[in-house]
Structure 1
Amino acid sequence: MPSSRQPERRSQPRPAVQKNAFILVGDKAGIPCIVRNIHSGGAELNVAAEAELPTRFLLHVPSEAMAYRIVVCWRKSDRVGVEFKSSEPWQDD
């Protein structure tokens, strides 16, 4: 039986995860999203298709107590591929 899966062409494996996160832009309330997969260079997010996102933003992942400065690489409807530019521990105020 032939496989319907495409061969992996990514340079780094991206294990599937499902982590709640927030996209932070300036002083606005965070836009909720879900991290679908994550690796050392970036991640894939699920975010509402109608959400307006800037090219650069801060991604807060509470379960990791981390914040990532990212750049959007691609977007298809509710899926967004991002590249990490830097990361820092999250400090609750």
Structure 2
Amino acid sequence: MHDDTIDKRAATRQRVLKRGTLTFDGGGGIDCVVRSISSNGARLDIASPVGLPKSFTLVIETDKFIRRCRAVWKNEKQIRVAFD
């Protein structure tokens, strides 16, 4: 990494490996793995982002963590979410 590289994220992300769930307003949800998290958002591994609603809730049971969020980036197996 070069000294002139600037990280554009507003908050420092902490690398983690935690089981989570994305729950939806109409009921249901999907499992995910939380790979990194900050006060502003998280990076998640999911089976597929296809059909993901605009907003949803990230639940990490072991930490009693519940936050409303929305996807801001995605590829075939990962999404990045911003917390509302």
TM tier relative to shorter chain: 0.7 to 0.9
- Alignment CA distance shift 1:51-1:63 (3 Å): farther
Q: Aligned letter for 1:27?
A: G
The 5 Å alignment of 1:51-90 reads 51-85=50-84
- Structure 1 consecutive aligned stretches of length 4 or more whose deviation exceeds 6 Å: none
Task: State the partner residue of 1:49.
Answer: 48
User: Structure 1 stretches of 5 or more lacking a match?
Assistant: 86-93
User: Structure 2 stretches of 5 or more lacking a match?
Assistant: none
RMSD: 1.6
- Which protein shows a greater Rg? 1
Aligned length, in residue pairs:
79
Task: State the partner residue of 2:21.
Answer: 22
C-alpha deviation, 1:51, in angstroms: 4.6
TM-score after normalising by structure 2: 0.82
